[in-house]
Amino acid sequence: MSTTRRLETITVPALAATVRLSDLPHHYFGTIASRKGLKKAIDKGLVTVNGRVAYSGDHISGGETIERFEAMQQQSPILELKVKVLYEDEHLAVVCKPAGLEVSGNRKWTLQHALAFNLTASSQPDALPRPEPVHRIDHPTTGAVLVGKTVAAVMALNRLFETRAVTKTYHAICIGHMPTCGEMITPVDDKPSSASFTVLSCLASTKYGGLNLLCLHPHTGRRHQLRKQLAEMGNPILGDREYGIEGRIMTGNGLYLHASSLRFTHPVTNGEMTVKADLPKKFLKLFPDLESGTLMRID
């Protein structure tokens, strides 16, 4: 395994009955956060049993030495793009993603490739070669993205998202008349989805049938969830070319959707963290009271 790095070695304790390797409780491992993660590592050939590459169907009865490896991929070029760092320590960071940038992917022009240019390398023993974002926001959406700088931090932060222990707050400007608050529970891609919203301010607009400044809290994390659910209500986000109403799509200023805060428990210090990302100037042009912060409700 010349292109891999060993992450951990465990000895399986005595078991009451033989189990398949893929059914082994994932909590035996310090670097695998879920059963799905264990199977993925096995399928990629990154797990060995007693020195040989393991398979999901291998029988484990206790006493086996299991090693977990990490693929060492060729380093991609660093994107020298300046982004705003909202918070940073040895374990994690929160950065503000600009519009028009994918969080990650095969292209060079991604937030992930810009992180090493903006963040200080961790000095922890399990430091990652490069920081990694632990969740995504849409390509046209701006705002806060949580980043892990060590193996342990990435695993812990992933668990927080899996258990919905991260509170996400968004702000958006939507078109049309709508109730002052409510819950959106329409399925997204045939999956249960929910989010709550509060209208903070309204602006008269003949062209758009009114503009509404919203504070939103998604309770699930489906792809394009807020955009789809608001469009389903008849109140698409201003500038949404994909889900907007024909003839009422603002062009030239992008999507008016911003990930404005993340609240979570720090996985190392156990301190409660709330990290905020200031709203883009285009929001302030439509709702000047935002400049003083009087409308910024982040619960």
* Burial (CB count within 10 angstroms: exposed 0-12, middle 13-18, buried 19+), residue 204: exposed
CA distance 169 to 187: 20
DSSP β-bridge partners for residue 84 = 96
Whole-angstrom distance, CA of residue 159 vs CA of residue 157 = 5
> Mean of the per-residue pLDDT values for the chain?
90
d(C-alpha 242, C-alpha 245), whole Å? 9
pLDDT confidence of residue 61:
92
Per-residue model confidence (pLDDT) at position 27: 79
> What's the pLDDT score for residue 76?
72
Distance between CA 77 and CA 107 in Å, rounded?
A: 10
Q: Identify which has the larger pLDDT, 99 or 248.
A: 99
Q: Which residue has the higher pLDDT, 170 or 40?
A: 170
Question: Which pLDDT does position 250 carry in this prediction?
Answer: 87
Q: Which residue has the higher pLDDT, 162 or 172?
A: 172
Which of the two residues, 166 and 295, has the higher pLDDT score?
166
Q: What digits encode the pLDDT tens for the residues 173-228?
A: 999 999 999 999 999 999 999 999 999 999 999 899 899 999 999 999 999 999 99
Burial class (CB in 10 A: 0-12, 13-18, 19+), 184: buried
- Residue 131 CA to residue 205 CA, distance in Å, equals 44
Dist. CA 55–CA 40, nearest whole Å? 11
pLDDT in tens, 259-286: 999 999 999 999 999 999 999 999 999 9
pLDDT category, 2, cuts 50, 70, 90?
very low
Structural domains for the chain: 4-71 (3.10.290.10), 76-163 (3.30.2350.10), 166-299 (3.30.2350.10)
Tell me what pLDDT residue 168 has. 97
H/E segment holding residue 40: helix 35-43
pTM of the model: 0.77
What are the pLDDT digits (tens) for 24-40? 887 788 777 778 888 88
The pLDDT of residue 173 is 97
Check residue 299 and give its pLDDT: 52
3-state secondary structure of 191: strand
Residue 1 has pLDDT above 50, yes or no: no
Average pLDDT of 126-154? 93
- Average pLDDT of span 122-135: 91
Q: Which two tokens stand for residue 156?
A: 């812990």
Query: Count of CB atoms within 10 A of residue 60's CB?
Result: 19
What dihedral do alpha carbons 159, 188, 224, 240 form, nearest 10°? -160
For the beta carbon of residue 134, count every other beta carbon within 10 angstroms: 20
Helix H, strand E, coil C: the string for 73-136 is CCCCCCCCCCCEEEEECCCEEEEEECCCCECCCCCCCEHHHHHHHHCCCCCCCCEEEEEEECCC
Dihedrals phi, psi of 198, to nearest 5 degrees: -135, 130
- Residue range 15-24, pLDDT digits in tens: 888 999 999 8
- If pLDDT is split at 50, 70 and 90, which confidence band does 297 have? low
Q: Report the Cα 162 to chain-centroid distance in Å.
A: 11
DSSP code of 62?
A: S
**What confidence score (pLDDT) does residue 261 get?**
97
* Structure confidence by residue, pLDDT tens digits, 44-94: 888 999 988 999 999 999 999 998 887 765 567 889 999 999 999 999 999
In this predicted structure, what is the pLDDT of residue 126?
A: 85
Q: Show which residues are catalytic.
A: 138
User: In the chain, what is the greatest distance between 2 CA atoms, to the nearest angstrom?
Assistant: 73
Q: What is the model's pLDDT at position 292?
A: 56
